Structure 1
Amino acid sequence: MCLGVPAEVIAIPDAAVPRARVAISGVQRTVATDLLADEDIEPGDWVLVHVGFALSRIDADEAAITLDQIKRLGSGTFETELDAFRTSAIG
């Protein structure tokens, strides 16, 4: 199963390149922000990440609720998504 998972933006390595460094439960990776070109994404923002792309900006409350709901799905769903997040990469 692939879900859109909330991640906190921790850095924008190069403002000229549509990428952001994000973290989910301490796991960091770089995601594409091409789909949010009209948004002013900055560290501290929350984004919904799916298959290496930040799909939308969400607020911290929505992020917390969504993460809680994913964890409640059971059957290791959150851990599976976190493992996929940990092992994937985007250039």
Structure 2
Amino acid sequence: MCLSIPSKVVKIDEDTNLATVDTMGVQREASLDLMADADVKIGDYVLIHIGFIMNKIDEEDALTSLEIYKEILAAMDEEERQNAILEGDQCEGS
């Protein structure tokens, strides 16, 4: 299943065009190559697909979505939780 969990931008490296994002406590890098220049700023919430930031999401909507994801994750065991967070944006064929 493909989930795009809202992630908060915590750092931007303009030299590599990569953003460091926080997805429910897990930090990783995502490419800004598909976004317009200067469209994404530190503190923005974004949606990621296969390692690329695809769009920004309103903070209120992001926080609402995160609360729902937390409820879903609470019903999973630890391994399932980590896999859902780490692999949620790595969907293929969609």
**Structure 1: gaps (5+ residues):** none
Matched residue count: 85
Match of 1:20 in 2: 19
What is the letter of the counterpart of residue 70 of structure 1?
Y
Whole-angstrom distance in 2 between the partners of 1:64 and 1:49 = 16
Give TM-score scaled by structure 1 length: 0.74
Q: Which range moves more in the overlay, 67-76 or 21-30?
A: 67-76
Deviation (angstroms), 1:10: 0.3
Q: State the percentage of identical aligned residues.
A: 35
Contact 1:3-1:50 within 8 A present in 2 as well: no
Counterpart-to-counterpart distance in 1, 2:9 and 2:71: 24
Report the structure number with the largest CA radius of gyration. 2
Deviation at 1:38, TM superposition (A): 4.6
Gaps of 5+ in 2: none
Amino acid at match of 2:47: L
Per the normalisation by structure 2, the TM-score is 0.72
Q: Is the 8 A contact 1:2 1:50 kept in 2?
A: no
Amino acid at match of 1:69: I
Rounded to whole Å, the distance in 1 between the matches of 2:11 and 2:21 is 7
State the match for 1:44 in structure 2.
43
Q: After the TM superposition, which residues 1-91 of structure 1 pair with which residues of structure 2 at under 5 Å, given as runs?
A: 1-13=1-13, 15-38=14-37, 40-73=39-72, 76=76, 79=81, 80-84=83-87
Cα distance in 2, alignment partners of residues 34 and 53 from structure 1? 7
Question: 1:31 and 1:51 mapped to 2: Cα distance?
Answer: 9
